[in-house]
Amino acid sequence: QKEVEQNSGPLSVPEGAIASLNCTYSDRGSQSFFWYRQYSGKSPELIMFIYSNGDKEDGRFTAQLNKASQYVSLLIRDSQPSDSATYLCAVTLRGKLSFGAGTTVTVRA
Amino acid sequence: EAGVVQSPRYKIIEKKQPVAFWCNPISGHNTLYWYRQNLGQGPELLIRYENEEAVDDSQLPKDRFSAERLKGVDSTLKIQPAELGDSAVYLCASSLGGQGGYEQYFGPGTRLTVT
């Protein structure tokens, strides 16, 4: 079982819609949760982090964490073409950050 | 504030040749990480330093890979000899410190091609 799992996509959404990305993790002891955005040919860029259950909003992004279900999600509101990228979910456990394979999002104009 | 700096950005070498990558972390960040990212996958940790000490090198292929972080700032990652399967992007990241609970920021990466 992979430590962090994501749907690979691609997830195609129309401009202005909400993109919803999901991530599950295998170890209940996982402590911190991150979302990175990675444009093609570029390195990962941290866009959100969440440490406790519930929702955390930052601009058009909302991260949601449910530790009981071992589930973390990212919502992108009012999606723009510039949001087209691969989104990586990452989870820390005992000091190690483990990444999912990423979900590719395409925002169509 | 300057971000994580890496060099070179691209490197093409023949198999069995040595190669080295350099990383300068964000100023004040005590923890430094080296990752390898293959196409279509997330980054995989190779080694984590807290100051000068390598605290997690369990995923570093020690027969051919080595790393150092002298004086707890810059770091180098070396591969000798390189194999075809080493072709990947090598990413350096840094964080303020601690058990990985702090946010990690990545450099631009070095794209290695082994022919």
**Residue-level pLDDT at B72:** 85
Chain A residue whose CA is closest to B5: A43
**Residue-level pLDDT at A93:** 83
**Residue-level pLDDT at B98:** 63
pLDDT beyond 80 at A1: no
Residue B101: pLDDT band (50, 70, 90) is: low
CB contact under 8 A, B42 and A99: yes
pLDDT tens-digit series, residues B77-92:
999 999 999 999 999 9
**Residues of chain A above pLDDT 70, percent:** 100
Q: What are the structure tokens assigned to A94, written together? A: 């005992």
**Residue-level pLDDT at B97:** 74
Contact with chain B for residue A29, Cβ under 8 A = no
Measured distance CA(A15)–CA(A11) in Å, rounded: 13
- H/E stretch holding A19: strand A19-25
Residues 6+ apart with CB under 8 A from A59: none
Which of A32, A49, A99 lies nearest to residue B43, judging by beta carbons?
Answer: A99
Short-list B111, B100, B92, B114, CA closest to B26: B92
Measured distance CA(B60)–CA(B47) in Å, rounded: 6
Which chain A residues touch B91 with a CB distance below 8 Å?
A: 43-44
pLDDT tens-digit series, residues A54-74:
999 999 999 999 999 999 999
Q: What are the structure tokens assigned to B113, written together? A: 């091609």
Residue at token pair 């090198």: B57
Residue B10: pLDDT band (50, 70, 90) is: very high
Which of A51, A96, A102 lies nearest to residue B100, judging by beta carbons?
Answer: A96
Q: What are the structure tokens assigned to A36, written together? A: 């990175």
pLDDT tens-digit series, residues A12-26:
999 999 999 999 999
pLDDT beyond 90 at A35: yes
Measured distance CA(B8)–CA(A107) in Å, rounded: 33
pLDDT beyond 90 at B1: no
Short-list A65, A89, A70, CA closest to A6: A89
pLDDT beyond 90 at B102: no
Mean pLDDT throughout A80-108?
Answer: 94
**Residue-level pLDDT at B99:** 58
Nearest CA of chain B to the CA of A88: how many Å?
Answer: 7
Nearest CA of chain A to the CA of B65: how many Å?
Answer: 19
**Residues of chain B above pLDDT 90, percent:** 86
Query: Which ranges in B23-94 belong to alpha helices (H)?
Result: none
CB contact under 8 A, A34 and B91: no
Contact with chain B for residue A52, Cβ under 8 A = no
Angle, vertex CA A104, rays to CA A56 and CA B40, nearest 5: 115
Measured distance CA(B9)–CA(B94) in Å, rounded: 18
